[in-house]
Structure 1
Amino acid sequence: MDISEILSTKFTEFDIGTPLSKVAGAFENQELDAVVVTDGDEYRGVVSRRQLASSSNQPSAKVGSQAQHVPTVERTEDVREVARLMIGSDAKTLPVLDEERIFGVVTADAILEAVRPFLDAVTVEDAYSPKLVSTTPEATIGKALNVLRESGIAHLPVIDGDDLVGMVSLYDVIEFTTRGGSKSQGGSSGSFGGRGRSGGSHGGFGAREGDSDRMLDLPVRNLMSDAVVTVRRSAPLDEVVETMFEHEVSSLVVTADQTGDPVGIITKTDVIEALTWERDDRNAVQVFGLDLLEGMDYDDVSALIESVTSKYGEMSVIKTSIELQEHKEQSRGVPLVLARIRLVTDRGYFTADGEGYGATHALRLAANAVERQLLKGKTYGQSKKQSDAESQEHLYGWWLSG
């Protein structure tokens, strides 16, 4: 199955010189995940809602300074390959090119909608994150914001004792601390693009003098949403996707079947990742853009990853994904390359980028960065269990028949 029937030719586009304050206004459309950044007719990258909400740049800054390089795909690209690229690049919107010009975009939501009927054989148990990062109603909003950013997540369940009482999101916090009152010079009345509890726009992009610090000291209970959507650990993933679309949320709190206690969280990214699982070799190293490497083949790449991961004692590597993306910029005829390594291990996720002239140089820089993370034990979440052979056969049967 390719993406030709699920891509959208409608997308929001901004020139590299557009102020971020104007771009922020586009995210008042709550369905918009990312905007495309161009320089004339040339594609330059994307800026996502999450990226903009996390940015500390002034609203007068230009969108070109925030453009993120994500993989581009062709109209005939396989859906499963697109899912892999989304996971590897941590992007939920990928541009679709036609003769090096933007033709459209493909989104994670479009993929989930297309594959939903085939997800009934895999359960939440197979895909969710069993470590539930949470906060309490009494914690300050500033502390919650630090947890969100340090954990690399966008939604934070609020737990009071043993009870799940609310949810607070990165977008809620950013909107709350920047809305109303007088703004600093350079602020505007445009929304950050966050989704508050009421779903509406609450204010501006600019910083507020003094008030922001005061707001960050308020308790989370002042901001959290009382409505929390949950799912049973034994529920199939097609039910997860249906619930997410019905409630317009991107994450669900996972509860134990018998007690109803919160035990983890599952996100749209987790479901997308389930499409990238291999049926046979769990320890395979996946390399996207292998042809860009000079002086290295697949075995060399596998040996490099093994040399990095074998230094740190008892750690089982479940999956390694490597993406190589070549840019147009060159130095002495050698292209600038972005290398991204993502490790899924029994100790959690490790992910790092390396950018250099030549794919081999970029890959080694990324490997060095991963090695430093392993040394520090800096993970980005808990690893996922893989589904059994029968479930995966059901899940992948439609890929093979398509």
Structure 2
Amino acid sequence: MDISEILSTKFTEFDIDTPLSKVGGAFENQELDAVVVMDGEEYRGVVSRRQLASSSNQPSAKVGTQVQHVPTVDRTEDVREVARLMIGSDAKTLPVLDGDRVVGVVTADAILEAVREFLDAVTVDDAYSTELRSVTPETTIGKALNTLRKARIAHLPVVDDGDLVGMVSLYDVIEFTTRGGTRSQGGSSDSPGGRGGQSQGGHGAREGDSDRMLDLPVENLMSETVATVRRSAPLDEVVETMFEQEISSLVVTADETDEPVGIITKTDVIEALTWEQEDQRDVQVSGLDQFEGLSRDDVSTMIESVTSKYGDMSVIKASVELNEHTEQSRGVPLVLARIRLVTDRGYFTADGEGYGATHALRLAANTVERQLLKGKTYGQSKKHPSEAEQEELYGWWLGG
């Protein structure tokens, strides 16, 4: 799959001598992630929303001083390769060139929209970051801003005694301090920042006001609406939530306790598209600690006994989830086992319910094997790609 059908020929560009204050105004468009910077007819680079919000340059500074040199691609570039370039350059927008001429841009959102329906067998647990940086309601806005900038992230969950109570974003902090502490009404957490000159003039001594506002607690600024997702949720639901709520990250919670355990961002999902066959890891198993007499090696051996029968099939990722029910038979608990396989022949998932983990696993493994024999992929009630679409996807994603 190449990017020819998902690139956008509508993009915003500025000359290198344009003041940053004017460039900041362009980000009034909430959908705009980055602008293209030109020197006459010559392409120079891009400036992103996050880059502008994180900078401390004067509003009168020229946009050319903030240019980021990201990779450029052509219209026939493979989507997987574009995903790799985005991850490698920490950019969500890449210019598309025809020779030396910029003919469009390809964005992370466009890629996610194009592949969303293929992500239903990959879970949050496969992709999320367990390094959850957070602040408390009493943390000062200045300290939160410093954390956001140092970590090069855009959102910080606000946690109070283990409870998730809000979210503070880089863009809201910048807007809050540059606009005199007046919060925008009805805006999203991606409201534009770095508006430079627009915050100067007519408001008195803004620098002193900004310093005092940085000493306020983040509870004065945080959004109390926070989107969460459980570790077991499929990535297609994550992307759908992100698009529906116009956000770029979700707090990940444990399936059993709803305790915040990590965060998943659009970048994490894009990175999942770059998985290679040689990146195959050991079988990921969750819930195993509930059961005695069953080791991780036992689970891996059982999965391998099923997949090894198909020599022409490569397993890229395999995960097993075990959940114990309260029901028992002769002291043996009823267990639900769920197996997910990401292979070069498609996605496969199956559940098995039996008394004891080993029995449940065998039932799930038998179901997966029947799916492999029939050539089925992950089957649920929702619509899935046709065989032709699957073949195209696996061709570009898995390099087949």
Query: Normalising by the residue count of structure 1, what TM-score does the alignment of the two structures yield?
Result: 0.68
Matching residue's letter, 1:89:
S
Matching residue's letter, 2:119:
L
Matching residue's letter, 1:399:
L
Q: How has the CA–CA distance of structure 1 residues 50 and 199 changed in structure 2, closer, same or farther, with 3 Å as cutoff?
A: closer
Q: How has the CA–CA distance of structure 1 residues 281 and 123 changed in structure 2, closer, same or farther, with 3 Å as cutoff?
A: closer
Corresponding residue for residue 19 of structure 1:
19
Q: How has the CA–CA distance of structure 1 residues 202 and 281 changed in structure 2, closer, same or farther, with 3 Å as cutoff?
A: closer
Corresponding residue for residue 258 of structure 2:
260
Q: How has the CA–CA distance of structure 1 residues 397 and 148 changed in structure 2, closer, same or farther, with 3 Å as cutoff?
A: farther
Residue 131 of structure 1: how far off its partner (Å):
1.8
Unaligned runs of 5+ in 2: 282-315, 320-340, 348-389
Q: How has the CA–CA distance of structure 1 residues 82 and 160 changed in structure 2, closer, same or farther, with 3 Å as cutoff?
A: same
| Cα distance in 1 between the residues matched to 2:72 and 2:251 | 32
Matching residue's letter, 1:141:
I
Matching residue's letter, 1:138:
E
**What is the CA deviation profile of residues 40-62 of structure 1, one whole-angstrom value per residue up to 9, with x for unaligned ones?**
11100000000000001101000
Aligned residues of 1:122 and 1:392 also touching (Cα < 8 A): no
1:29-108 matches, cutoff 5 A: 29-108=29-108
SS in 2 for 1:265: strand
| Cα distance in 1 between the residues matched to 2:137 and 2:65 | 37
| Cα distance in 2 between the residues matched to 1:231 and 1:28 | 29
Q: How has the CA–CA distance of structure 1 residues 200 and 6 changed in structure 2, closer, same or farther, with 3 Å as cutoff?
A: closer
Aligned residues of 2:53 and 2:193 also touching (Cα < 8 A): no
Residue 159 of structure 1: how far off its partner (Å):
0.3
Pairing 1:271–2:269 present: yes
Matching residue's letter, 1:211:
D
Corresponding residue for residue 391 of structure 1:
342
Unaligned runs of 5+ in 1: 182-190, 284-385
Structure with bigger gyration radius = 2
Corresponding residue for residue 151 of structure 2:
151
1:226-241 matches, cutoff 5 A: 226-241=224-239
Corresponding residue for residue 216 of structure 2:
218
**What is the CA deviation profile of residues 23-53 of structure 1, one whole-angstrom value per residue up to 9, with x for unaligned ones?**
0000000100000000111100000000000
| Cα distance in 1 between the residues matched to 2:264 and 2:11 | 28
Query: Normalising by the residue count of structure 2, what TM-score does the alignment of the two structures yield?
Result: 0.68
Residue 197 of structure 1: how far off its partner (Å):
5.4
Residue 9 of structure 1: how far off its partner (Å):
0.1
Corresponding residue for residue 136 of structure 1:
136
1:284-295 matches, cutoff 5 A: none
Aligned residues of 1:24 and 1:205 also touching (Cα < 8 A): no
| Cα distance in 1 between the residues matched to 2:189 and 2:219 | 12
| Cα distance in 2 between the residues matched to 1:150 and 1:201 | 17
Q: How has the CA–CA distance of structure 1 residues 151 and 197 changed in structure 2, closer, same or farther, with 3 Å as cutoff?
A: closer
Residue 399 of structure 1: how far off its partner (Å):
3.2
Aligned residues of 2:35 and 2:48 also touching (Cα < 8 A): yes
Residue 209 of structure 1: how far off its partner (Å):
2.3
Corresponding residue for residue 110 of structure 1:
110
Aligned residues of 2:34 and 2:49 also touching (Cα < 8 A): yes
Residue 99 of structure 1: how far off its partner (Å):
1.5
| Cα distance in 2 between the residues matched to 1:169 and 1:9 | 30
Matching residue's letter, 2:89:
S
| Cα distance in 2 between the residues matched to 1:259 and 1:23 | 45
1:354-369 matches, cutoff 5 A: none
Matching residue's letter, 2:342:
S
Residue 121 of structure 1: how far off its partner (Å):
1.3
Residue 205 of structure 1: how far off its partner (Å):
4.2
Count of residue pairs brought into register by the alignment: 289
Runs of at least 4 residues off by over 3 Å? 195-207, 395-402
Residue 400 of structure 1: how far off its partner (Å):
3.6
SS in 2 for 1:103: strand
